[in-house]
Amino acid sequence: MQELNISRLPDDTGWELALTGKWLLQRGDTRVAELLNDLKTKVAAGERLTFVDAGIEEWNSALVVLIEKVQGYADEHELKVDISSLPTGVRQLRALAASHPKRKDMSRRDEAKPPFVERVGLATLAWWKSTRVSMAFIGELLFAVGRMLSGKTKLRWRDVYLCMEDAGPSAFPIVALISVLIGMILAFVGAVQLQQFGASIFVASLVALGMAREMGAMMTAIIMAGRTGASYAAQLGSMQVNEEIDALETMGLKPMEFLVLPRFIALLIMLPLLTIFSTVLGIAGGSLVALLMLDITITQYVEQMTSTVPLHHFVIGFVKSLLFALVIAVAGCMNGITCGRSATAVGQATTRAVVMAIVFIIVVDAVVTIITTVLGI
Amino acid sequence: MTQAHIEVRDLTMAYGSTLIQRDLDFTIGRGDIFIIMGGSGCGKSTLMKHMIGLLTPARGEILFNGEAMWECDFAYRQSMVKKFGITYQSGALISSMTLAENIALPLETYTDLTPSDIRDVIALKLALVGLAEFGEYYPSEISGGMRKRAALARAIALDPEVLFFDEPSAGLDPVSARLLDDLILQLRDSLGATVVMVTHELASIFAIGTNSVFLDPETKTMIAQGDPNQLLADCNDPKVQMFLRRGELLEEA
């Protein structure tokens, strides 16, 4: 048990603070508040406070914290503090804490929150800056593609194949599972309604149209945004943190051509392929429901689908997948390349990449749907 | 002879079937500044990780205050490890937290202190390493040397019995490295802690080391032990001399 007793010094020149027991941090009671209250009521300005080791069994920073607080109070109330009879280690720690020069101008404790108008202004400037960064990135990417097409850039096809493997075959199982389930869900939802009108056969049209025009491309893109887009942002972000991107630049290699272009090309090839698989598997999932729940044969299902869903719906889905690939690659790579230099920044870049990709996938999908509706296709 | 604080007994370290070091046997006395030295890739950091309970020995034992670390259960080993303060080469501060929050982490986890008391302890720890005004800064906003000192402030948050350092001076300019050495020495003296340090910095080794072990990557065992200054004067092993003389024997040969 720790104890602290305050009493008048025998020579009446001040107060004695006698410490006994264990003064340890872990005990959860540094007795600071209690002591400061005592000082307020008992000690007058100009008096001396003398700490006395009256049987300290163990001590650690808890004791030094107590002394620091008393010193702070003493400075404010013109008291003198004497710790010369305390253990050497305590005195050394206090001396060490006081030995470093103070740099008041560096403190952020008193920094006030900027006013509302200033914060709006700062947020607007930050938004404008990030928009310019995005525009510059897309511009640079277009230049890189142009240089590649004109043969001025030597693309590392080995990197492209590795990225294709990661964005294609590795992603296939999850895309396949989700697609089959989406096809089945579409068929279930349609079947409940269409059965009431004796039009169950139109489940084939519903599933095929839904998968071909919308769900095949969109679901694959959303899966890939969470999987591959996030992975691009994390990979490039980590390279930024480890100064690998700086190293590439100093070696005269353009990160845009060395890192972004292979990922961009890989996704542009693999996402449409995955979308085709997704559409086919979604239709197959729908056919399972039709076969098992609605007593529709496979032949009837395929005939209904081919007669009511022309090929251009599949082409629209394919075109969308190309646009989605572009969105995911740009969001992933851009947020990775422009990432800050800390572990937190990598996390933030990855989150931004996924959110940006999903938002723009929906926006692009809406725009394409409006255009095709206006054009009547 | 100082009282034994950490004893490494017949320790063999391996990653799977790959042997790192074998038959390590030495004692670290209370209050020592113990240097683990040796060529690159010899297993210095691996030895430190075994000593702080992050890796399990392939054979042998590590005793802390006379108690075998790997014979006791996990919970007891955790209570032992709480008495260690560790600073890693990069500082390993949590980047999403301010320096004050980094230091508060062990205090909030392992003590019953009130938030106000925790703030007072943080202020003290930051003052001890000369970063009193930087509590509200994030690790990414300060220099490498300051990050190392902040990591030291976190390591001493709970007043550890043993302070472990992995390459504390790496990447620092000579003046900052010297100041960090002085700080380690002052903290050892005032806290009464034992210091275990993995380092290549000869200036630090000779300036503050009181005991050491030299690991050899070729024979995969320790080939020298003792006060580094004494090893420089007395040790006949050419590898140790080469290391401590910064390769001077190579030039003579």
Compare all CA atoms of chain A with the CA of B126 and give the residue at the minimum distance: A97
Q: What is the pLDDT of residues A295-304, one digit of tens each?
A: 899 999 999 9
The reply to whether residue B128 touches residue A25, judged by beta carbons under 8 angstroms, is no
Say which of A28, A97, A108 has its CB closest to residue B113: A28
Compare all CA atoms of chain B with the CA of A94 and give the residue at the minimum distance: B128
Contact A275, A178 (CB under 8 A): no
pLDDT (0 to 100) of residue A2: 72
Q: Identify all chain B residues contacting A96, using CB atoms and an 8 Å cutoff.
A: 128, 183, 186-187, 190
- Say how many C-beta atoms besides its own lie within 10 A of residue B230's C-beta: 12
Q: pLDDT tens for chain A, 377 residues: list them.
A: 677 788 887 777 788 888 888 888 766 555 677 777 888 888 777 788 888 888 888 888 888 888 888 888 888 888 888 888 888 888 888 888 887 777 666 666 656 788 899 999 999 999 999 899 989 999 999 999 999 999 888 888 999 999 999 999 999 999 999 999 999 999 999 998 998 888 999 999 999 999 999 999 999 999 999 999 999 999 999 999 888 998 888 888 889 999 999 999 999 999 999 999 999 999 999 999 999 988 899 999 999 999 999 999 999 999 999 999 999 999 999 999 999 888 888 999 999 999 999 999 999 999 999 999 999 88
Helix (H, G, I), strand (E, B) or coil at A356: helix
User: What are the structural domains of chain A?
Assistant: 3-102 (3.30.750.24), 132-375 (no CATH)
The reply to whether residue A65 touches residue B132, judged by beta carbons under 8 angstroms, is no
Interface residue of B95, B107, B109, B158 to substitute, partner A, most A CBs within 10 Å: B95
The rounded distance, in Å, linking the Cα atoms of B170 and B145 is 9
The verdict on A35 touching B (C-beta cutoff 8 Å) is no
- Which residue spans of chain B are classified as CATH 3.40.50.300? 4-83+160-252
The reply to whether residue A103 touches residue B124, judged by beta carbons under 8 angstroms, is no
Task: Give how far Cα B111 sits from Cα of A62, A112, B127, Å.
Answer: 11, 32, 21
In DSSP notation, A269-301 reads: HHHHHHHHHHHHHHHHHHHHHHHHHS---HHHH
Quick one: which of B194, B197, B241, B195 has its CA closest to B216?
A: B241
**CB within 8 A of B85, min separation 6: which ones?**
B154, B155, B156, B157, B158, B160, B162, B163, B164, B193
Does B128 score more than 90 pLDDT?
no
Q: What is the pLDDT of residues A268-314, one digit of tens each?
A: 999 999 999 999 999 999 999 999 988 899 999 999 999 999 999 99
Contact A29, A4 (CB under 8 A): no
Complex-level ipTM: 0.78
Query: b/e string for A30-44 if b means 16 or more Cβ within 10 A?
Result: bbbeebeebbeeebe
Residue B235 corresponds to which tokens in the numbers above?
Answer: 């040790």
Residue B129 corresponds to which tokens in the numbers above?
Answer: 């390493």
Contact A191, A293 (CB under 8 A): yes
In DSSP notation, A315-327 reads: HHHHHHHHHHHHH
Mean pLDDT value across chain B:
88
**CB within 8 A of A244, min separation 6: which ones?**
none
Say which of A28, A89, A344 has its CB closest to residue B190: A89
Please, how many CA atoms are within 13 Å of residue B64, restricted to the half-sphere of its CB?
A: 21
Compare all CA atoms of chain B with the CA of A61 and give the residue at the minimum distance: B159
The verdict on A32 touching B (C-beta cutoff 8 Å) is yes
Q: Identify all chain A residues contacting B95, using CB atoms and an 8 Å cutoff.
A: 342-345
pLDDT (0 to 100) of residue A109: 60
Compare all CA atoms of chain A with the CA of B113 and give the residue at the minimum distance: A28
Fold of B4-83+160-252: Rossmann fold (3.40.50)
* Phi/psi of residue B9, nearest 5 degrees: -120, 115
Q: What is the pLDDT of residues B134-163, one digit of tens each?
A: 999 998 888 888 888 899 999 999 889 999
Q: What is the pLDDT of residues B59-70, one digit of tens each?
A: 999 999 998 988
Kindly report the nearest CA distance between residue A50 and chain B, in angstroms.
21
What's the order of all strands across the beta sheet hosting B162-166? B84-87, B162-166, B194-198, B33-38, B211-216, B221-225
The verdict on A351 touching B (C-beta cutoff 8 Å) is no
Say which of A27, A64, A104 has its CB closest to residue B124: A64
A34-48, A263-277, B184-198, B208-222, range with the lowest pLDDT: A34-48
Q: What is the pLDDT of residues B17-66, one digit of tens each?
A: 899 999 999 999 999 999 999 988 899 999 999 999 889 999 999 999 99
The reply to whether residue A93 touches residue B130, judged by beta carbons under 8 angstroms, is no
Q: Identify all chain A residues contacting B154, using CB atoms and an 8 Å cutoff.
A: none
User: What residues pair up with B213 in beta bridges, in sequence order?
Assistant: B36, B225
pLDDT (0 to 100) of residue B32: 92
Quick one: which of B38, B86, B77, B54 has its CA closest to B219?
A: B38
Residue B142 corresponds to which tokens in the numbers above?
Answer: 């300060």
Contact A91, A55 (CB under 8 A): no
pLDDT (0 to 100) of residue B187: 84
User: What type of residue is A230?
Assistant: A
Report the percent of chain B where pLDDT is more than 90: 45
A262-266, B165-169, B171-175, B241-245, range with the lowest pLDDT: B171-175
Q: Identify all chain A residues contacting B192, using CB atoms and an 8 Å cutoff.
A: 89
The reply to whether residue A89 touches residue B192, judged by beta carbons under 8 angstroms, is yes
Residue A85 corresponds to which tokens in the numbers above?
Answer: 């009879």
Task: Give how far Cα B59 sits from Cα of B24, B176, B232, Å.
Answer: 10, 39, 31
The rounded distance, in Å, linking the Cα atoms of A144 and A161 is 18
Does B250 score more than 60 pLDDT?
no
Contact B39, B243 (CB under 8 A): yes
Q: Identify all chain B residues contacting A61, using CB atoms and an 8 Å cutoff.
A: 121, 124-125, 159
pLDDT (0 to 100) of residue A29: 59
